[in-house]
Structure 1
Amino acid sequence: MSGPETVDRVLLTAAVVVLVVAGMLLLVRIWRGPSMLDRAIALDVCAALIIAGLGARSAAALDSFYFPIMLVLAFLGFTGSVGIARFIAVRDRPPAHRRPAGKEGKG
């Protein structure tokens, strides 16, 4: 193996190790929470880690087969994050301020 090929292998191995460690930390964040928003962000990061893992696999194999899959996963991750954010925004919206009955017009 030549010098550049060795450097490529070392960098790809380091990237995979970082992705695995990030995945383990991500699972801890999903498990512990503490809030629903933390879990939602962790799931969005999970999609990004899967995309990064596919990118590393594609670079290691010198194959562009995974690029359309990565694009679809990025789209699904984005739409999922927007959907979860809208759900949380509706759920956490404070109730509308209402005046007590019989108090209209009195200041």
Structure 2
Amino acid sequence: MSTPETVDRVLLTAAVVMIVVAGLLLLIRIRRGPSMLDRAIALDVSAALIIAGLGAKSAFSRDPYYFPIMMVLAFLGFTGSVGIARFIAVRDRPTPQETKEGTE
């Protein structure tokens, strides 16, 4: 194995270790919360970590097979984030009665 290949493997291994550590910290954030928005953001980041893991696997095996899967997961993660944000925005919107009370 040549020096560039060794450096490549070491960097990919370090990237996978960092992804695993980030996943463990993400599980802690999902469990602790404290709000629903924190958990929603953590789930969105989990989609990004899955994509990063697939990218590392693809680079490790030098196989471009996972790129379309990564694109689909990125699209699903984006639409899920937008849906959650819209749900939280509607849920947290003040009612007309609350708005009236705040102006008096």
Amino acid in structure 2 at the alignment position of 1:67: F
Structure 2 stretches of 5 or more lacking a match? none
Paired residues in the alignment total 99
Query: In the aligned structure 2, how far is the partner of 1:89 from the partner of 1:20?
Result: 32
TM-score, length-normalised on structure 2? 0.92
The answer for the alignment partner of 2:34 in structure 1 is: 34
Amino acid in structure 2 at the alignment position of 1:15: A
Query: In the aligned structure 2, how far is the partner of 1:80 from the partner of 1:63?
Result: 28
Q: CA-atom RMSD, angstroms? A: 1.1
Identity of aligned residues (%): 81
The answer for the alignment partner of 1:53 in structure 2 is: 53
Q: What secondary structure, in the 3-state scheme, does the structure 1 residue paired with 2:19 have? A: helix
Q: Structure 1, residues 46-85: CA drift from partner, whole Å, max 9, x if none? A: 0000000000000000000000000000000000000000
Q: Which runs of 4+ in 1 moved over 2 A?
A: none
Amino acid in structure 1 at the alignment position of 2:22: A
Bigger radius of gyration = 1
The answer for the alignment partner of 1:3 in structure 2 is: 3
Structure 1 stretches of 5 or more lacking a match? 100-107
The answer for the alignment partner of 2:24 in structure 1 is: 24
